[in-house]
């Protein structure tokens, strides 16, 4: 499932436009917005894609840590998880200061 960041309407993973407010979910779903914020945060070094243990093979395949510009979009393409893609981004922060 994806959540519209504008109106909090839940949509299926294959929905591209929010049925409630017409937002482009590829840009404005909660995961897309959070990814954008992480990319703009200079303290975030790399982004880990966290996959639930019982996720489908498509999700399992993209598990890992990525440079900020190489992170796959969520929901995962071809995801067949029974409750929709529940993968999420976890920022790896630069906590060490000179
Ligand atoms: Zn919406
Ligand atoms: Zn999946």
Q: How far is the CA of 75 from the centre of ligand 2 (A)?
A: 8
pLDDT of residue 55: 96
pTM for the whole structure: 0.83
pLDDT of residue 94: 79
Helix-strand-coil percent breakdown of the chain, rounded to 5?
Answer: 25, 25, 50
User: What average pLDDT does range 72-93 have in this prediction?
Assistant: 92
Q: How far is the CA of 10 from the centre of ligand 1 (A)?
A: 8
User: What average pLDDT does range 8-34 have in this prediction?
Assistant: 95
- Split at pLDDT 50, 70, 90, the class of 96 is low
Distance CA 98, CA 65 (A): 24
- Split at pLDDT 50, 70, 90, the class of 83 is confident
């Amino acid at each position: 499932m994806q959540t519209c960041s504008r109106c909090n309407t839940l949509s299926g993973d294959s929905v591209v436009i929010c049925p409630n407010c017409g937002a482009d979910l590829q840009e404005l779903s909660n995961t897309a917005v959070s990814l954008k914020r992480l990319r703009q945060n200079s303290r975030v070094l790399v982004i880990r894609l966290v996959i639930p243990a019982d996720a489908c093979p498509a999700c399992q395949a993209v598990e890992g840590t990525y440079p900020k510009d190489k992170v796959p979009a969520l929901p995962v393409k071809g995801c067949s998880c029974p409750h929709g893609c529940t993968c999420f981004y976890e920022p790896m922060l630069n906590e060490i200061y000179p």
